[in-house]
Structure formats: C-alpha cells, structure tokens
C-alpha cells in the first residue's frame, strides 16, 4: 500500500464513513483537504511508476538494439571477413597438400568455394542488419531521451504531491489533537474537575528514559510475553515505550481507545500498532540501537558503541541481527567473518581473548536486545507525523491507516503508561 494512501474519512478511520460537517467536526475541512491531497499523491505515484516502467522498457529495447548492432558490425568488419577467407584458403592448401589424387583436390576446392560463399552470405546479411539498426538508432535514442524527461517530471510531481499529502496529514493531525484537547477540557469543566493540561510539545526523550534495568513486579507478565531480544517494558512514562518493548496490555489499551467500542476495529488497530512496532524495531536494528550484555565473554570487553560498530560490520557482511536473539534467516558468521567485522570496526582481532565456538557464534546475540524506545526518543522525540515518516523511510508506506489518524494516535502514545 503506497504511502500516499487515500485519507479515510471519519474520526474512527473506518472505511465508508461519511465526512462530518464543519459544525460537528471542526477538522472536516482539514480532513477533506488531506483526502484530496493524498488521492492526488496516489495518482501521481501511479503515474510516476508507469512512466518509469516505460522508460525501463525503452532502455531495454535500446540495449538489445545496441547488442545487435555491435554483433552485425563485428560480422561486417572487413578485417574479420578477410581473416575468415584467409582461414578458408589455409584449410584448402592443407587439404590439397594432403590429397592423394586429383579427385581429393577437387573436393577440397569445392569445400573452399562453399566456405567463401558462406562467408560472403554472412557478410551481406550483417551489412543489411547493420543498415537496419543504424536506421533505428536515432528513433530509439529519441524515445529513451523523451521518456527520461517524462520520468523525471513525473517523479518530481509525485514527490511534490507526496509532500503535499504529508503536510495535509500533519495539519489534520494537529487539528485533531487540538480538538481532542479542547473537548477534554470542556468535559472536565462540565464535570467540575480540573481541566487536564494540554499536550505538551516536549520531546519524549526529555520526559522519561526508556531503559529499565529490570522488570518490576507489575511488568513481569509483559516481560514474559516480550520474547527474547527485547528489553523489559517500562511501567512509567509515555505509553510508546512499553508498547515498543512488547507490552501487550498497552497495545490492547491503545487499540481499544482508538476503536471506541468497536470490536472489529479494535482488531484492526492492534494490527496497525503491531506493524508500527515492527517497523520501528527494524529501523532500530538498522541503526544498531542495541544494548549488549556487559558480562558476556565476547561483548563484555568492548564498550556499547564498539559493540554496535561490530554489529554494523557483521550486518554489512550479511550477518544481520534479527531482533529476537539470533541472526536473520539463521545465517550466522564463522570465526573468520567475526574477525573481519572486528577489524572493520577498528578493533584489533589479535586482542580478542575469547573466540566463540561455532555453537556459541549462533547464540552471539542471545542476550542482546533492541533499544527501540531510546532510538525513537533520540530520532523522533516529539512523535510528530513528519518525524515518524522520516524515521521509518520506506517502511512508513505500509502504515497509512495510522498516519490518517495520527492526531488520535499520537496523544495515546504520549499518554502515561
């Protein structure tokens, strides 16, 4: 699903919901603008992809033409023709010298003449093909140049439309956050309770440190479900941290708030939030945002930063941490590859005191976990829509349903766990 997914009307993000009127929904204008902008981005993205595909086809046709022309030119080269005829004449001379009678000489002569005829026929065909390809050269080149210009224009237009879609979504998210904060204040005033403070713009990194040395009793069940390679969920601070750490209770609570009582929608929101967690975790692994055990025989002697550099070098060699305590696709390095990674990270492999065995190499990341919370806090501390899309890159393209409702999702992620 492309990033410029059409905005789903309605606050709950359910397909087929009619857009609310401005009197009932102050964000209706922003929602309609976002819907139009992202629909246009969809069309421009499809157009850019189609133009790029036509350009690839034209370049492939030109390359095939160039190959045929080169082969024809080589076959029609007078030097190649002369060499072929010389070889035929040398073969005839050898046969004539070996002939025992006049009949054998005549057979050798006929074979020589037939070979000359074949060479002349190949040369004529090559000259004809070369002339045809020369005539096709200019039109094919013009098509490639024209489609190249069209592809560049379509790409620029698609990028501009995608940026407009993104800005419209940001405007919608800001409007929805502001509206929900105002509605909460009005409800609190009507109930005679103090109005909640507006959502503060401070970075989540400044609000709480996501790392937690050990799971608290209240988080024991969440830690058991977090799986290997994940840190214990934090029980304080914004809900985004325990969500990223694998706390299923927080996931269900946020999904229920977004679904607003609709069980079917709650299941969809759980899937969307899980996809967000997976995308952030993958990006954190790409950025080597990992925590390494200090008492591990191999990792222990290195600093955390040095461990991350060794991990990045292993990934460059094709041995990537899977986020679950192992290697992607079960492909783990040998001692030679580990030595290369240590060297690429700027460390001296000769100073390694402990070399893991083959079985230990397969479990090299067993006690390593992904620090997704800190990664997000440092790279997208405000959890704004723009920050999150920039953080996730192409992985953001499959999360359009979340971006369409980010004005509702972000406050829940920033709310206390």
The predicted-structure confidence for 296-310, as pLDDT tens digits, reads as follows 888 888 888 988 899
The predicted-structure confidence for 61-83, as pLDDT tens digits, reads as follows 999 988 988 998 998 899 989 99
Instruction: Please tell me the least confidently modeled range out of 153-167, 187-201, 349-363.
Output: 187-201
360: confidence class by pLDDT, cuts 50, 70, 90: confident
Give the chain's domain count: 3
pLDDT reported for residue 233: 45
3-state secondary structure of 222: helix
Instruction: Please tell me the least confidently modeled range out of 132-141, 264-273, 351-360.
Output: 351-360
Kindly state whether residues 230 and 252 are assigned to the same domain: yes
Kindly state whether residues 249 and 350 are assigned to the same domain: no
211: confidence class by pLDDT, cuts 50, 70, 90: very low
Residue 198 and residue 179 in contact, taking contact as beta carbons nearer than 8 Å: no
How many angstroms separate the CA atoms of 13 and 375, rounded? Answer: 28
Is residue 184 a part of any domain in this protein? yes
Is residue 20 a part of any domain in this protein? no
Determine if residue 287 is left, alpha or beta; phi over 0 gives left, psi from -120 to 50 gives alpha, anything else beta: alpha
Kindly state whether residues 35 and 80 are assigned to the same domain: yes
Is residue 13 a part of any domain in this protein? no
Q: Does the pLDDT at position 120 exceed 80? A: yes
Is residue 333 a part of any domain in this protein? yes
Instruction: Please tell me the least confidently modeled range out of 208-212, 255-259, 354-358.
Output: 208-212
Residue 324 and residue 365 in contact, taking contact as beta carbons nearer than 8 Å: no
Q: Does the pLDDT at position 212 exceed 50? A: no
The predicted-structure confidence for 282-301, as pLDDT tens digits, reads as follows 888 888 888 999 888 888 88
Kindly state whether residues 58 and 182 are assigned to the same domain: yes
Kindly state whether residues 397 and 279 are assigned to the same domain: yes
Is residue 145 a part of any domain in this protein? yes
30: confidence class by pLDDT, cuts 50, 70, 90: confident
Is residue 133 a part of any domain in this protein? yes
Q: Does the pLDDT at position 234 exceed 80? A: no
Helices (H) and strands (E) in the chain, counts: 15, 2
Kindly state whether residues 50 and 143 are assigned to the same domain: yes
pLDDT reported for residue 354: 79
Last residue of a domain, one of 165, 190, 215: 190
Kindly state whether residues 46 and 142 are assigned to the same domain: yes
pLDDT reported for residue 51: 93
Give the list of residues 6+ apart from residue 23 with CB closer than 8 angstroms, or none.
none
Backbone dihedral angles phi then psi of residue 16, each to the nearest 5 degrees = 85, 0
pLDDT reported for residue 186: 60
| CB-based contacts of 115-120 (< 8 A; 24+ apart in sequence) | 115/88, 115/91, 116/85, 116/88, 119/81, 119/84, 119/85, 119/88
Instruction: Please tell me the least confidently modeled range out of 6-15, 336-345, 367-376, 392-401.
Output: 6-15
Backbone dihedral angles phi then psi of residue 297, each to the nearest 5 degrees = -55, -35
Kindly state whether residues 215 and 352 are assigned to the same domain: no
Last residue of a domain, one of 370, 390, 405: 370
Domain limits for position 410: 204-287+372-414
The predicted-structure confidence for 379-404, as pLDDT tens digits, reads as follows 888 888 888 888 888 888 888 888 88
190: confidence class by pLDDT, cuts 50, 70, 90: low
Mean pLDDT of 200-226: 42
Kindly state whether residues 340 and 382 are assigned to the same domain: no
Q: Does the pLDDT at position 11 exceed 60? A: no
pLDDT reported for residue 214: 38
Kindly state whether residues 404 and 306 are assigned to the same domain: no
Kindly state whether residues 330 and 311 are assigned to the same domain: yes
Higher confidence at residue 226 or residue 374?
A: 374
Looking at every residue in the chain, the average pLDDT score rounds to: 80
The structure's pTM equals 0.60
Higher confidence at residue 2 or residue 384?
A: 384
Is residue 22 a part of any domain in this protein? no
Is residue 393 a part of any domain in this protein? yes
Last residue of a domain, one of 355, 370, 385: 370
208 CB-side CA count, 13 A: 17
Kindly state whether residues 183 and 215 are assigned to the same domain: no
10: confidence class by pLDDT, cuts 50, 70, 90: very low
């Amino acid at each position: 699903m492309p990033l410029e997914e059409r905005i789903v009307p309605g606050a709950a993000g359910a397909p087929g919901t009619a857009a609310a009127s401005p009197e009932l929904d102050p964000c209706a204008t922003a929602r309609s603008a976002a819907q139009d902008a992202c629909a246009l981005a969809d069309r421009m993205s499809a157009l850019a992809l189609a133009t790029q595909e036509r350009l690839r086809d034209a370049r492939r046709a030109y390359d095939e033409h160039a190959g045929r022309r080169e082969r024809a030119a080589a076959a029609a080269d007078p030097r190649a023709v002369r060499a072929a005829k010389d070889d035929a004449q040398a073969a005839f001379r050898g046969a004539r010298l070996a002939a025992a009678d006049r009949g054998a000489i005549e057979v050798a002569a006929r074979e020589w003449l037939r070979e000359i005829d074949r060479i002349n026929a190949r040369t004529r065909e090559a000259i004809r093909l070369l002339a045809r390809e020369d005539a096709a050269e200019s039109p094919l080149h013009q098509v490639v140049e024209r489609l190249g210009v069209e592809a560049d224009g379509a790409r620029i237009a698609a990028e501009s439309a995608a940026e407009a879609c993104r800005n419209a979504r940001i405007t919608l998210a800001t409007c929805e956050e502001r509206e929900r904060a105002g509605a909460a204040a009005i409800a609190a005033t009507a109930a005679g309770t103090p109005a909640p403070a507006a959502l503060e713009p401070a970075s989540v990194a400044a609000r709480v440190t996501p790392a937690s040395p050990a799971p608290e009793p209240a988080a024991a069940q969440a830690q058991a479900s977090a799986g290997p390679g994940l840190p214990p969920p934090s029980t304080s601070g914004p809900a985004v941290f325990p969500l990223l750490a694998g706390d299923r209770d927080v996931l269900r609570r946020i999904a229920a708030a977004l679904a607003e009582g609709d069980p079917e929608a709650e299941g969809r929101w759980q899937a969307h939030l899980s996809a967000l967690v997976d995308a952030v975790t993958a990006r954190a692994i790409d950025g080597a945002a990992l925590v390494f055990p200090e008492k591990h025989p191999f990792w222990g002697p290195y600093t955390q930063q040095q461990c991350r550099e060794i991990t990045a070098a292993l990934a460059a060699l094709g041995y990537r941490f899977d986020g679950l305590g192992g290697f992607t696709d079960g492909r783990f390095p040998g001692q030679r590859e580990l030595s290369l990674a240590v060297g690429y990270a700027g460390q001296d492999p000769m100073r390694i005191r402990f070399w893991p065995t083959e079985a230990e190499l397969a479990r090299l990341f067993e006690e390593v976990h992904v620090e997704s919370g800190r990664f997000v806090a440092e790279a997208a501390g405000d959890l704004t829509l723009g920050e999150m899309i920039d953080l996730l890159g192409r992985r953001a393209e499959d999360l359009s349903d979340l971006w369409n409702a980010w004005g509702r999702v972000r406050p829940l992620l920033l709310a206390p766990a």
